[in-house]
Amino acid sequence: MTQPHVPNPDLLAQPTGDPLGEILHLLKLTGTFYCQSRLSAPWGITIPGFPEVMSFAVVIGGRAWMKVGDDAPFEIQKGDLVLMTHGAPINLYSDAEARLMQLEDLPIRKVTELYETVEYGGGGAECSIMYGLVRLDHASSPMLMALLPDVLKIDPWEEEAGSWLQGTLQFIAREARELRPGGETVITRLADVLVIEAIRRWLSRSQEADRGWLKAARDPQIGRAIVAIHRDPAADWTVESLAQVAGMSRSAFAARFTGLVGTPAMQYLAQWRMNLARRSLRETSHPIASIAADLGYQSEPAFNRAFKRVFGTTPGQARRNAS
């Protein structure tokens, strides 16, 4: 049995930091699939939904129509970036009369394990779209994903978007046309940057971003406690010690934390630890006992019970399902 890990005194003495800034700094994507398409009207593509995975489309040239889930279709054109956050099925087509084909039934050329190209259509007006499936790779991802709208549409040609965003799209378009050696790596990395920028712009511009966990992260007192949990999740935190970090009384802290985040502080700590645990199980081969100890659990059975309480499955089963 391991000894409880005492909170870092530095976090108690000088609880500084911007939790939302730290999250965005660490935010990265794990790409699961990228497809570069060159299409000519009439054409239509239907793409199935993928739960817990985000998808995006960047229009490199031409224009098209998009329908996400049961929402009304909308037009997209060169330069548009559309981020679908909750795995809904998608239809892309040149016009309302176009026949829809399943993506997997199209003439796909596999470039790498993650990158494919498609040329398809009836020979009319041309359109080029890059489509991708990506997963947010951070312990905060489930909380962030829960607050994002279903669809984020960014027009990089807006003055606010900045010339760098326009330049990035132009660079992707050039690489897509030429596909020089290593071009697929350049394209996918730049696409990741665009997706993260879309999320950052929503966080900075949307009133909807100022609620729940995101609002709590911006709070000058509750945000300090969130930073402390994120930086030292294995510590033997209590409501009292977190209230000390926040510079508040225990009762005032407990009420404010629950009111802003939507869950009590100890429940948030447990959820944060479990998100870290699930990521470790998916990405490492560390023994389950080692992961449990790293997250402050004094025994593997206690960790297993906590994990199953949150995710409905044991850590061992979660690791097998991820492999």
pLDDT value for 259: 94
Q: Please say if the pLDDT value at position 14 is more than 70.
A: no
| pLDDT at residue 13 is higher than 50 | no
pLDDT at 17: 54
Q: Distance between CA 224 and CA 235 in Å, rounded?
A: 15
Lowest mean pLDDT among 45-49, 211-215, 257-261: 211-215
Q: Quickly state the pLDDT bin for 249 (edges 50, 70, 90).
A: very high
Residue 301's pLDDT is: 92
Percent of the chain with pLDDT over 90: 37
CATH of segment(s) 27-209: 2.60.120.280
Asked, colleague to colleague, whether 9-23+212-322 and 27-209 share their fold, the answer is: no
Residue 36: the pLDDT is 85
Mean pLDDT, to the nearest integer, of 1-7? 58
Per-residue pLDDT for 204 more than 50? Answer: yes
pLDDT digits (tens, 9 = 90+) for 154-179: 765 555 555 666 677 777 767 766 66
Which of residues 217 and 180 earns the better pLDDT score? 217
Give the pLDDT score at 277.
92
Q: Which fold has domain 9-23+212-322?
A: Arc Repressor Mutant, subunit A (1.10.10)
Q: What was the pLDDT predicted at 10?
A: 56
pLDDT at 157: 57
Q: Residue 209 has what pLDDT?
A: 72
Residue at token pair 């998100």:
275
Domain residues of the chain, as ranges? 9-23+212-322, 27-209
The answer, yes or no, to whether residue 11 has pLDDT greater than 80, is no
Residue 199 has pLDDT above 70, yes or no: yes
* Confidence (pLDDT) at 15: 46
What confidence score (pLDDT) does residue 176 get? 66
pLDDT for 206 equals: 73
What is the arithmetic mean of pLDDT over 230-250? 93
What pTM was estimated for this model as a whole? 0.70
